[in-house]
A and B are shown apart, each in its own frame.
Chain A
Amino acid sequence: MPKASTGRFWAVLLASMGATLVAIYVSLTNGVFDLTVTDVIKTLLGIDPEPAHELIIFDFRLPRIVIAALVGFGLGVAGAVIQGITRNGLADPGILGINAGAGVAIVVFMFFFEEKIAGSGWMSALAMPLFGWIGGLATAALIYLFSWRNGGLDPQRLILVGIAAGSGLGALSLYLSLKMNPQDFEMATIWLTGSIWNANWKYIVSILPLLVVLVPVILSKSSVLDLFQLGEETAKGLGVSTEKEKNVLLLCSIGIVSACVSVSGNIGFVGLMAPHIAKRLVGIRHSRVLPVCGTLGMLLVIVSDFVAKNVFSPVELSVGIVISIIGVPYFVYLLFVTKA
């Protein structure tokens, strides 16, 4: 176990933030159309603005980067919570089927409702994350229902039910999306594989409130998460009302995951990797792990999105695919390390 000192925590946090800033900078300046540093700074600060640069930065690149950052942050934190509660280092929101549940709800939204409220602008942008959230919550309810045993949540079952729910709901999305017209189908497919492809400011506004409300709740419960690591019985013995805390924490993380899925589709593995890396870097105290998870998640998604967008240009991969290609080898490495 690495030594967990406060100094080390701050160093790691600042380093990962620094790396994130570098990633943002690279992402802003590079692309099909390269910009110089001065162009970027000038445009951001509004000094003798050039419409083309403004368009590229404010309408194309910046929203995408901000979304990537928010989604990465959210998924990282939510992953740490879910691993903490289930006490299973292999758990992640994707494996629990929450992504797929939010996915179905959004496909339902695209299929039945999108046209009806398309005209009203803000309404439609806000409705999508809302549907995602409802879908995620409904899936969570389903998973709860099936993994409840002897008046408590059985972490082992939670994962099994999650895997099942994930594949069933995936099939349902596919079934629904096949009934769509070709244009919507393409949209839905791109979105389902995880892509920050049509980022815009409305999406950002639509998920920001959830993050702003729920992340602090989770942070305030980091000491509870620490106690969970000692085992449920011990936590109970120490006066923690485990069921209630578990429910609050799970609901918060499901809320975050659903919001993220609603704007970026199905991005897996961030919630799995970020907590592991964070724990190796700063120890096991959640008050430190959670912020580092968030920044690492940000870094991961921004970099992956950049890779997805540019490496095979002009073909654009979906960011979900890039992350799972990076994530799996890491996961395998992890499996071997935990053996020792």
Chain B
Amino acid sequence: MRFKISLPAFILWLSPIAMVFTILASILYGAKNIDSTTVWDAVFHFDPGNVNHQIVMHSRMPRAVGALLIGAFLAISGAVMQGMTRNYLASPSIMGVSDGSVFTITLCTIFAPNASSLDMIMYSLIGSALGAGIAFGLASLLPNGMSPVRMAIIGTIIGTFLSSVSAAMASYFQISQNISFWYHARLHQMDPGMLKLTVPFAVVGIAMALLVSKSITILSLGEEVSMSLGLRTVLVKAMAVASVVILTGISVALAGNIGFVGLIVPHITRFLVGVDYRRIIPCAGVLGAIFLALSDILSRFLNYPFETPIGVVTSLVGVPFFLYLIRKKGGREDA
């Protein structure tokens, strides 16, 4: 058991190295391979006239960092949701949170086409709050609504609705192409300015997640246990939902709808580090970051030299895992 206890620490200590390697790989490989000395020069002796330097600093670097951050955001939101609802299927993409963001982004593109990046982020946050609000609201109003299957169905349906309305509006206002730009995640056009803007939001979101992590461990034991332990469940849940909304909202604003990271990474993490959310949440962040960055590298080669949407890659990796989970857990057990 000693090994098992030190595993989270191990992951956390090893992760900076893994991240550096992932970033390097992400910068080196792509439609145009760039050798490492060029990368070194681009970082330390930047020459604006050199095309390769431009690619490294303005495209590859923000993309690599963006993939890491988004992976972390989504995995953390997923972990928080799964712990809070005791539902092993909860995740931002299944629960309609991402679709909510896509919905408000569609509205924004139609009615406020000149919105700034910060506005976009705000709209996306409002949208994810809307999606989360409707799905969770419905689930909590209904008898047995928080059970895995029922909640998954409610989330799927709310998501379908929000994305259908977005699609209808997009085709009516003839901006389908702009919108599909948002739907089918586009890490390859990471906007460095927007990435910087999201940092304060991310800090708040992650801080909130870490702050409630202990309470989530208690919540994951069940409502009654947490009540009897004197946990202020309403406050904890509100904070947990707020952090999910913030983290998912900024992810969608940055890169569109990326499924499955938020679903599978928390499971892998739980498998590795046990059931204590004080460990799960940070470790999920780290693993999610590495997972998404690796999927992003894979996405460049699946259909070489064209890019494959990252959502497709994560689904193709994620679905078999999801099926395995169902097979193993039998679709009944709580997380």
Contacts and interface: CB of A to CB of B under 8 A. Distances in A.
B268 interface: no
A85 to B, nearest CB: 16
A268 B159 CA distance: 13
A43 B21 CA distance: 72
Given A317-B168, A325-B161, A90 B331 contact: no
Interface of A: 90, 95, 146-147, 149, 154, 156-157, 159-161, 163-165, 167-168, 170-172, 174-175, 178-179, 193, 268, 312, 315, 317-318, 320-322, 324-325, 328-329, 331-332, 335-336, 339
A149 B328 CA distance: 11
Given A174-B309, A178-B309, A321 B303 contact: no
Sorted nearest first, the 10 A-B pairs with minimum C-beta distance are A168-B319, A171-B315, A328-B161, A324-B164, A157-B331, A164-B322, A171-B312, A160-B331, A321-B164, A175-B312
Nearest to A170: B315
B152 A163 contact: yes
A312 B168 CA distance: 10
Given A178-B308, A328-B161, A339-B142, A156 B168 contact: no
B319 A312 contact: no
Contacts of A324: 160-161, 164
8 contacts: A167-B260, A167-B319, A168-B320, A171-B312, A172-B316, A268-B160, A318-B171, A336-B141
B156 interface: yes
A90 B158 CA distance: 13
Given A156-B331, A175-B312, A328-B158, A312 B172 contact: yes
B157 interface: yes
Contact of A168 (B94, B171, B308, B316): B316
Contacts, number: 113
Contacts of B318: 168
Interface string B142-157: 1101001110111011
A321 B167 contact: yes
Residues of B contacting A: mostly: helix
A325 B165 contact: yes
A160 B149 contact: yes
A179 B168 CA distance: 25
B332 interface: yes
Contact of A95 (B156, B319, B322): B156
Contacts of A171: 259, 311-312, 315-316, 319
B323 A164 contact: yes
B237 interface: no
B167 A165 contact: no
Contacts of A321: 164, 167-168, 171
Interface in B122-150: 138, 141-143, 145, 148-150
Interface in B265-315: 302-303, 306, 308-309, 311-312, 315
Interface string B171-187: 11010000000001000
